[in-house]
Structure 1
């Protein structure tokens, strides 16, 4: 029985999309027919998804995270598009392909999107893309090695850290000074200082330095 699979690929580099297309077309099963649409920015992807939702929904959607935002500023990334796709086409399979390999970003993407596939581009080979696609069609999810390593760290780590504390760690790791954290987090400076103190106690930071805190948090997979 022939299986027609409607696909949308979103990436701002046409040559990367061409590589994905060529790989899937060359490795598809004999009974699979792939119909592939492509988009290089949020506006085009938005238009294609809304049209598909009205006419024939996509079966699989591939999203890069960093792509040009929509003109109205409402869609700023592939993450936003993935969330929208789940509203428009809840039965479609969502695959994230990204260069981002920081554990904070990985954690947020899994929490916010719960994708059927999550592939880090630096892990990716043609054979893995082909394997991931076929696996996701039958038995999702499929995560590439960097994502799995992060998830394994998270499972075995006993330290529980909430989203705000995780964001504080991430911002500090990006060079944001403590005095500027209130611009990024909706808390008072005293609340942020209290959380930083708790984090240093959790990670057993004896010297009190932010640099040591960040180093320990990174070792344990929280950044």
Structure 2
């Protein structure tokens, strides 16, 4: 199995790489420090599985990268690897294409089991989170049908630009980060503000935090 690891901490990347490369049936072919780099590594290496951290400040988050990678590279299975035991993170991850959700505090064997499970076509969720999914199914929580879901409303480019605006980057800085023109940034910014009904950066920041597009 060819695997990519995306985490903003080099020590974490090195540690998981050692664990995975020790397995006879697994190989880490690349690592990345944020969502944008993770996307490029998937594009370049076409791995079977990618481990994505949710929070990778100041770069693109794992949640945004999940939506883009699952859409453009459906053969690459995504496992969210995170410290957050959080219902909303779990739902957002699975809704946007992740096939696994593993806590960083889990034993090494659980991570390896998750990789083998999603590679085989199954979905793997940390045992501690399965009760959440059962309750969600039974109650049919409105969150699963939330028509304000940014991953449904916004384009891939808008999902890239919105968190950067929320973090306070100017149009020129965003253009340089994404290798696009300032006019393109302005156009996408205007569109996502219209779609969501936002009129100021504080509102964009509030929305981005509420929808888990950025974290403190």
TM class, shorter-chain normalised?
0.5 to 0.7
Deviation at 1:159, TM superposition (A): 5.9
The ranges of structure 1 where at least 4 consecutive aligned residues each deviate by more than 4 angstroms after the TM superposition are 158-162
Distance in 2 (alpha carbons) for counterparts of 1:157 and 1:92: 31
| Structure 1 pair 136–91 and aligned structure 2 pair: CA distance change class (3 A) | same
What SS class does the counterpart of residue 18 from structure 2 fall into?
Answer: helix
Match of 1:18 in 2: 14
Contact 2:3 2:49 in 1 (8 A): yes
Pairwise CA distance, 1:144: 0.6
Counterpart in the other structure of 2:110? 128
Q: Is 156-165 or 133-142 further displaced after alignment?
A: 156-165
- Count of matched residue pairs: 152
- Residue 119 of structure 1: CA displacement? 0.9
Residue 38 (structure 1) aligns with: 31
Q: Secondary structure of the equivalent of 1:134?
A: helix
Q: What residue is the counterpart of 2:170 in the other structure?
A: none
What are the ranges of 5 or more consecutive residues in structure 1 without an aligned counterpart?
71-75, 167-184, 188-223
Q: What is the deviation of 1:141?
A: 0.8
Distance 1:111 1:47, change over 3 A: closer
Whole-Å separation in 1 of the counterparts to 2:141 and 2:2 = 42
Which residue in the other structure is 1:61 paired with? 50
Shift of 1:186: 4.7
Deviation of the 1:33 alpha carbon: 5.0
SS at match of 1:65: coil
Q: Given the alignment of the two structures, is residue 51 of structure 1 paired with residue 51 of structure 2, yes or no?
A: no
In structure 2, distance between residues paired with 1:148 and 1:86:
22
1:118-156 per-residue CA deviation (whole Å, 9 max, x = no partner) reads 11223x111111222222222411111232121022123
Q: Secondary structure at the residue paired with 2:65?
A: helix
In 2, are the aligned partners of 1:8 and 1:61 still within 8 Å (CA)? Answer: yes
Relative to structure 1, the CA distance from residue 105 to residue 35 in structure 2 (aligned partners, 3 Å threshold; closer, same or farther) is closer
Distance of aligned partners of 1:78 and 1:138 in 2 relative to their CA distance in 1, 3 Å threshold: same
Give the number of the structure whose alpha-carbon radius of gyration is greater: 1
* Distance in 1 separating the partners of 2:83 and 2:77: 20
Kept after mapping to 2: 8 A contact 1:96/1:119: yes
